Amino acid sequence: MIRVILPYLSGPEQIHPPRACVSEETAALLSGHVERIQARIDCLARNRDRLAAYLAAVRPQGDR
């Protein structure tokens, strides 16, 4: 789905095809993709923060 839509997104002000061409079903599918991507981003950010905290705890003070 994203591979199909992404080429049409030139930027926030330039969306091709026009909004009127996107069905409610397509919008719902895209919304689901956005939610799944955000969940992965959140998980990666938590993992990054935990690893950084672990490294901060195990490294000598001058090695940051």
pLDDT digits (tens, 9 = 90+) for 24-54: 888 898 899 999 999 999 999 999 999 999 9
- The pTM score is 0.66
Please tell me whether residue 16 adopts helix, strand or coil conformation. coil
CA angle 51, 62, 49 (to 5 degrees): 15
* C-alpha span between 61 and 44 (Å, rounded): 26
14 within domain boundaries: no
Give me the pLDDT at residue 3, please: 72
pLDDT digits (tens, 9 = 90+) for 5-19: 766 666 666 666 667
9 within domain boundaries: no
**Which structural domain range is residue 63 located in?**
24-64
* C-alpha span between 2 and 39 (Å, rounded): 16
35 within domain boundaries: yes
In sign, the C-alpha dihedral spanning 1, 32, 36, 19 is positive
45 within domain boundaries: yes
Give me the pLDDT at residue 60, please: 86
Give me the pLDDT at residue 13, please: 65
